[in-house]
């Protein structure tokens, strides 16, 4: 996977760059066969019934037509999509957190097609905290979990989407 969100050119110093690259390799390995790459929005017929998720994502992205995944920070809502969702200070992240304490590439949230969700710290300087505990390794996410990046608290949500309305044509 050659994802520009996972380049390490912005890092100063070899030890920090090596730590980031090791975290990137673990993140890429975690994607596996149950995850569609974050920049691929077309899924097979088994998952979406031949429909497509459009980019950019709407306010809340729908996954498999049944569930929406998002982060909430006060009144801000950050939609998440199937695959890798990068979180950090740089403007090309999927979730941009404007806080100097937050790393440029702080963490990533993987959403798998089988509905598993994982939080990965991407070698951030200050670490990623989940429900009050710093995560030492990739950690499973559940709806309602609190993710803390420095002084910023984001809440992870999974919501069931409203069913599509059924249109019935009148007989002529």
Does residue 157 have a pLDDT over 70?
Answer: yes
Does residue 91 have a pLDDT over 70?
Answer: yes
The answer to whether 88 and 96 have CB atoms below 8 angstroms apart is yes
Q: What is the DSSP string of 64-120?
A: TTTEEEEEEETTEEEE--SEEEEEESSTTSSEE---TTS-TT-EEEEE-TTS-EEEE
Q: What is the pLDDT of residue 67?
A: 84
Lowest mean pLDDT among 8-12, 49-53, 58-62, 120-124: 49-53
Residues of the chain with pLDDT > 70: what percent? 55
- For the stretch 14-70, pLDDT in tens is 665 666 666 666 666 666 655 544 333 333 333 333 333 333 333 444 444 578 999
Tokens at 16, concatenated: 């920090």
Does residue 13 have a pLDDT over 50?
Answer: yes
The answer to whether 74 and 84 have CB atoms below 8 angstroms apart is no
Task: Please tell me the distance from the alpha carbon of residue 37 to that of residue 82, in angstroms, as a whole number.
Answer: 8
Residues of the chain with pLDDT > 90: what percent? 42
């Amino acid at each position: 996977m050659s994802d520009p969100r996972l380049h390490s050119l912005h890092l100063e110093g070899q030890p920090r760059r090596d730590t980031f690259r090791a975290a990137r390799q673990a993140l890429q390995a975690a994607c596996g066969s149950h995850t569609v790459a974050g920049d691929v929005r077309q899924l097979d017929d088994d998952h979406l019934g031949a429909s497509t998720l459009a980019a950019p994502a709407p306010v809340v992205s729908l996954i498999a037509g049944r569930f929406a995944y998002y982060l909430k920070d006060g009144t801000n809502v950050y939609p998440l999509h199937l695959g890798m969702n990068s979180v950090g200070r740089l403007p090309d992240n999927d979730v941009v957190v404007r806080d100097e304490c937050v790393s440029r590439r702080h963490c990533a949230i993987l959403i798998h097609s089988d509905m598993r969700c994982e939080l990965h710290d991407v070698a951030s300087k200050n670490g990623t905290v989940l429900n009050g505990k710093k995560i030492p390794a990739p950690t499973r996410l559940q709806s309602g979990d609190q993710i803390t990046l420095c002084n910023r608290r984001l809440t992870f949500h999974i919501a069931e989407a409203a069913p599509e309305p059924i249109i019935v044509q009148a007989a002529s």
